Amino acid sequence: MLGIGLFAIGLCLIKGLNQTNMDNRFAFGLWIFLDLTVIALGAGAFFTGFLLYILRRDELRAVINSAVVLGFICYSGAILVLMVDVGQPLRAWFTFWHPNVHSMLTEVTFCITCYLAVLAIEYAPIVLRNRQLRKVPSFLVFEFELHKVMPVLAAVGTFLSFFHQGSLGGLYGVLQGRPFAYRDGFAIWPSTFFLFILSAIATGPAFVLVTTWAVSKISSKRLVQPSVYRILAMVSGWLLVTYVGFKGIDTLVWLNRTVPRTGAIPAQFYAWQPFGTWVLFAEIVLFGLVPALILIAGARRRSFALQLTGSLLACAGVALNRFVMTIQTLAVPTLKFEPFMLYWPSWQEVATFLAVAAYGVILYSLSFRYLKLFPHERDLQQY
Partner 1 sequence: MTNVTRRNLLKLAGGAAIGFMASPMPWRLTDELAIWTQNWSWIPVPPKGEVTTRMTACSLCPSGCAVQARCIGGLPVSLRAPAGSAALCSLGLTGHHLPYHPARLLAPVRVTERADALHTNPVRLGEVVTETAAAIAAAKAGLGTVAVLDMRPGRSISWAWRSLLSGLPGGAVIAGPGREGASLATLERMLAIESGSLGLDFEHARTIVSFGAPLADGWGSPRTLQRLLGGSRGNVRLIHVDPLRSPTAEIADRWLPARPGTEAVLALGLAHVLIAENLVDRAAAAKAVDFERYSLLVSRVTAEKAAAVTGIAADAIIATAREIARAMPAVVLAGEDAGGGRFGRAAETAILGLNLILGNAGKGGGFLARPDLPAPFDSASLAPVQDLDQLPDRSVALLLIDASAGDAAFPWRVVERKLIAKGGLVVALSPFFAGTARHANLIVPAPTFLEAMFELPAGFDAPAATLGISAPLIAAREGGADPASFVRAVAAASRIDLPGAWARSEDLIKARVARIHRVGRGSVMSIADGAEKPLAAVATPDALLEALMGGAKWEDAPSPSVQSMKTMLLGDAAGELERISTCATAPKQSPQYPLTLLPRAPRDATASAVVSPVITKLYRESVLRRSPETAVLNPATARELRLRAGRKASLETAAGAIGVTIATSGSVMPGAVEIAVSPGAIALGDMHTAVKMEILEICAIDESGGWRQSAARLVEA
Partner 2 sequence: MKSSANSGAIIKRRFGLVIDLDRCNGCGACATACAVENNVPPAFPEVNERTGLTWMRVYRAENGRTFPDSRTVYFPISCQHCGHDTPCVSVCPQNAVDINPQTGVVSQIPERCLGCRYCMAACPYHARYFNWFDPTWPAGMEKTLNPDVSVRMRGVVEKCNLCHSRWQVAKAKAAAAGKQDLDPADYTTACAEACPAKAIVLGDLDDRNSEASRAAKSPNAFRLLAKLGTDPKIYYRSNREWVRRLGDADVAQIESEASRG
Give phi and psi for 343, each to the nearest 5.
-150, 145
Contact 233, 307 (CB under 8 A): yes
Instruction: Find the binding residues for partner 2 in span 221-280 (CB under 8 A).
Output: 261-265, 268, 271
Please state, as a whole number, how many other Cβ atoms lie within 10 Å of the Cβ of residue 243: 28
Q: Which stretch binds partner 2 (CB under 8 A): 277-285, 297-305, 310-318, 336-344?
A: 336-344
Q: Between residue 106 and residue 125, which ones bind partner 2 under the rule CB under 8 A?
A: 106, 109
Note whether 93 binds partner 1 by CB under 8 A.
Answer: yes
Convert residues 179-198 into a mask of x (bound to partner 2 by CB under 8 A) and - (unbound): x-------------------
- Of the pair 185, 248, the CB lying nearest partner 2 is at 185
Nearer to partner 2, 24 or 273 (CB): 24
Shortest spacing between CB 11 and partner 1, in angstroms: 17
* Comparison of 89 and 260: residue with beta carbon closer to partner 1: 89
Residues 6+ apart with CB under 8 A from 118: 153, 156, 157, 160
d(CA 23, CA 13): 17
Bridge-partner residues for 185, per DSSP? 190
Supply the minimum distance, in Å, between the C-beta of residue 91 and partner 1: 5
CA distance 281 to 291: 14
379: nearest Cα among 231, 224, 229, 230: 224
Q: Residues 10, 99, 151, 245: which binds partner 2 (CB under 8 A)?
A: 99
* Residue 87, φ and ψ in degrees, nearest 5: -75, -30
Q: Which of 3, 16, 54, 94 binds partner 1 (CB under 8 A)?
A: 94
The identity of residue 10, as a single letter, is G
Considering only 15, 91, 221, 302, the residue that binds partner 1 (CB under 8 A) is 91
Q: Strand, helix or coil at 343?
A: coil
Stretch that binds partner 1, among 83-91, 149-157, 261-269, 300-308 (CB under 8 A): 83-91
Decide if residue 171 touches partner 2 (CB under 8 A).
yes
Amino acid at 31: W
Write out the binding residues for partner 2, residues 63-92 only, by CB under 8 A: 85-89, 91-92
Q: What would the DSSP string read from start to end of 165-205? A: HHHHHHHHHT-TT-TTT---EETTEEHHHHHHHHHHHHHHH
State which amino acid sits at residue 260: P
Rule CB under 8 A: which of 8-27 touch partner 2?
16-18, 22-25, 27
Residue (27 or 90) nearer to partner 1, CB:
90
Contact between 88 and partner 1 per CB under 8 A = yes
Closer residue to partner 1, CB minimum distance, 159 or 343: 343
CA–centroid distance for 73 within its chain: 11
DSSP 1: -
Q: Please identify, using beta-carbon distances, which residue of 24 and 138 lies nearer to partner 2.
A: 24
Query: Is 138 one of the binding residues for partner 1 (CB under 8 A)?
Result: no
Closer residue to partner 2, CB minimum distance, 63 or 181: 181
Q: Which does 106 bind (CB under 5 to 8 A by kind): partner 1, partner 2, none?
A: partner 2
- Sorted by sequence, the CB contacts under 8 Å of residue 172 that are 6+ apart come out as 178, 181, 192, 325, 326, 329
Size of the site for partner 2 (CB under 8 A): 53
DSSP annotation of 92 reads: T
Q: How many CA atoms lie within 13 A of 346 on its CB side?
A: 14
- Whichever of 94 and 344 has its CB closer to partner 1, that residue is 94
Identity of residue 47: F
Residue 217 Cβ vs partner 2, minimum distance, rounded to whole Å: 39
Can you tell me the distance from the alpha carbon of 247 to that of 341, in angstroms, rounded to the nearest whole number?
27
CA Rg value for the chain: 21
Binding residues (CB under 8 A) for partner 2: these are 16-18, 22-25, 27-28, 85-89, 91-92, 94-95, 97-100, 102-106, 109, 171, 174-179, 261-265, 268, 271, 329-330, 333-341
Binding residues (CB under 8 A) for partner 1: these are 88, 90-91, 93-94
